[in-house]
Structure 1
Amino acid sequence: MATPSPSTPDRAASFGLVAEDYGRLRPAPPDEAIDWMLPEHPSDVLDLAAGAGTLTALLPSRVRQVHAVEPDDRMRAVLAGRLPGADVRAGTAESIPLPDACVDGVIVASAWHWFDTGRAVPEIARVLRPGGRLGIVWNGIDRSVDWVDRWSSGLGDHGGQPAPEGRVARRGELLRAALEAPDSPFGGLEHAVFTTTRRSTPAQTTALLGTYSRVILLPEAEREAHLARALDALCAELGIGPDDAFALPFRALAWRTTRR
């Protein structure tokens, strides 16, 4: 079972403070990652802990019925405004407001680390049809690129960047522990990595840092100073101005498994 740290509730709830920016700035995983996680020909899919609907918005073209469950009222309001046709509900991974065996797929984007997996895993299995697919993905700026790592390392503990390889490995270990236990309702955990680039500017990239919980929870003056330093450092690293466009690399770390 995941054991949240004392600060986890505050950090998990912090995203609602920047719900509009989160919906505007956070990029979805690449199309290839989404297609890899979804089962073949799905009719109903749940985006669990859907946030502001960044990934949810890409599901209607792939799925007949999209369900989105999100605990934060502020994030859910942005999501509902973005996707008026989706079934958007208040709920958590530990208590999903859907009937048994009602979806072909469940997708979790950049949220699994907030779950109490001892309760969430059986609950996810409950709403999945037998043979249904669970897909889990973390998507963020690609720190395996040299210049990104130099820039991110220079920002210290509040860089807001995806974890280095050691922590990525630990995420895989946690997933295997939760989903490959002898009594798990899931089997055959698979892993894949997808990379892409998106057009951005240093100003937009720095604003993206402001949607990470460690940065959101900084005192206002400290947060503003940190983001200003991040902007100056990024411009210096790339040799461009704040509003000049460049190709920002992203990496999606994805896992998928099947309901027994």
Structure 2
Amino acid sequence: MGMAERGSPGLSFGEIAVRYDRFRPGVPTAALDWLLPEDCETVVDLAAGTGAMTSQLVDRVRHVVAIEPDPQMRETLARNCPKALLLPGTAERMPLPDGRADALLTSMAWQWFDPLHAVPEIARVLRGGGTFGVLWNHRDLSVPWVAELDRFTRALRVRESGQGATGQTPSRIVADPPTGSLFSPLAELRLTWSMAVTPEEIVGLMGTDASAIALPAEAQHAVDEQVARYVHDELALSAGQTIELPMACRCLRTTKNLDAAP
């Protein structure tokens, strides 16, 4: 989860944690297969949130360290992933010794980091030859009905924010992690997958977007109600029914150069 979301004037931290825990999707198995190095003994899940990826890592890697700055997120994470070592910290400052990890992964969070300070800190925590992986896991907007649902929901948020279209913050263009002398050139994997969701889960998932979390709680709940009506009327989904929601995952992977300083 992003730092900007945590500092928003919208929903309370507790409600954000509940939404993330209930509705954020896990990571496709193929992505972890590609990102994790062979014989990985220790992996760091950076900006772990409520543990969507951590819960999968503990079944694959002997030592999992989950770093998360928000205490209420960590509280939920502790319940979800008791086998992981939970630590407070940020991408720019991790309470770990040099060369601690064979791999460090972050999901849906790179856009909130300060690359100038985060990249050297990530390199410090990794052993020489260790893997740094970044992934984004979004609804697949190349599918027409998913794109239309997204447009409808975003328009609702603009209206409920009271700012109008001109008051919306432009989408932030996020550069890929720089590698420089510390890391090898980035490799990329793109894949698509799907998950079965109910109407309630569609509404909940849409409500975890950054622009939704930033809304005042009353406005967010109003958006939720209207999205629920849209799902019922336009997608013809009733309570208890499911639909396969197309997802798109982009992964980046690099390794710390052996001659890089700790």
Q: Which TM-score applies when normalising by structure 1?
A: 0.86
Asked if 1:254 is matched to 2:248, the reply is no
State which of 125, 145, 149 in structure 1 corresponds to 2:147. Answer: 149
Q: CA deviation at 1:11?
A: 4.0
1:33–1:8 CA distance, 2 compared to 1 (3 A): same
SS in 1 for 2:93: coil
1:15–1:219 CA distance, 2 compared to 1 (3 A): closer
Cα deviation code 1:67-86 (max 9, x no counterpart) = 01000000011111111121
What is the CA RMSD across the aligned residues, in angstroms?
2.5
> Which amino acid in 2 is paired with 1:188?
P
1:91–1:74 CA distance, 2 compared to 1 (3 A): same
> Which amino acid in 1 is paired with 2:187?
E
Q: Contact 1:46 / 1:107 at 8 angstroms: preserved in 2?
A: yes
> Which amino acid in 1 is paired with 2:85?
D
Separation in structure 1 between the aligned mates of residue 121 and residue 89 of structure 2, nearest angstrom? 12
Match of 1:119 in 2: 117
SS in 1 for 2:184: strand
Q: Contact 1:14 / 1:213 at 8 angstroms: preserved in 2?
A: no
Match of 1:179 in 2: 178
Q: Contact 1:101 / 1:128 at 8 angstroms: preserved in 2?
A: yes
Asked if 1:206 is matched to 2:203, the reply is yes
User: What's the % identity of the aligned pairs?
Assistant: 37
Q: CA deviation at 1:13?
A: 10
Separation in structure 2 between the aligned mates of residue 34 and residue 48 of structure 1, nearest angstrom? 15
SS in 1 for 2:52: coil
Separation in structure 2 between the aligned mates of residue 62 and residue 237 of structure 1, nearest angstrom? 40
Separation in structure 2 between the aligned mates of residue 229 and residue 31 of structure 1, nearest angstrom? 33
Q: Contact 1:152 / 1:159 at 8 angstroms: preserved in 2?
A: no
> Which amino acid in 2 is paired with 1:179?
P
Moved more, 15-24 or 114-123: 15-24
Separation in structure 1 between the aligned mates of residue 47 and residue 56 of structure 2, nearest angstrom? 15
The correspondence of residues 93-132 of structure 1 with structure 2, limited to 5 A, is 93-132=91-130
Match of 2:166 in 1: none
Asked if 1:188 is matched to 2:202, the reply is no
Q: CA deviation at 1:206?
A: 0.3
Cα deviation code 1:29-67 (max 9, x no counterpart) = 100011111111100000001010110001122111000
**Structure 2: 5+ residue stretches without partners:** 159-170, 258-262
Q: Contact 1:16 / 1:73 at 8 angstroms: preserved in 2?
A: no
Match of 2:226 in 1: 229
Moved more, 114-123 or 223-232: 223-232
Q: Contact 1:12 / 1:213 at 8 angstroms: preserved in 2?
A: no
Where does structure 1 differ by over 3 angstroms across 4 or more consecutive aligned residues? 11-17, 157-160
SS in 2 for 1:120: helix
Aligned residue pairs, count: 243
> Which amino acid in 2 is paired with 1:129?
R
SS in 1 for 2:224: helix
1:72–1:197 CA distance, 2 compared to 1 (3 A): same
Separation in structure 2 between the aligned mates of residue 242 and residue 190 of structure 1, nearest angstrom? 42
Match of 1:80 in 2: 78
Q: Which TM-score applies when normalising by structure 2?
A: 0.85
1:157–1:240 CA distance, 2 compared to 1 (3 A): closer
1:13–1:217 CA distance, 2 compared to 1 (3 A): closer
Separation in structure 2 between the aligned mates of residue 136 and residue 25 of structure 1, nearest angstrom? 21
Match of 1:163 in 2: none
Match of 1:56 in 2: 54
Match of 2:237 in 1: 240
1:156–1:21 CA distance, 2 compared to 1 (3 A): closer
Match of 2:168 in 1: none
Q: CA deviation at 1:157?
A: 5.2
Q: Contact 2:140 / 2:246 at 8 angstroms: preserved in 1?
A: yes
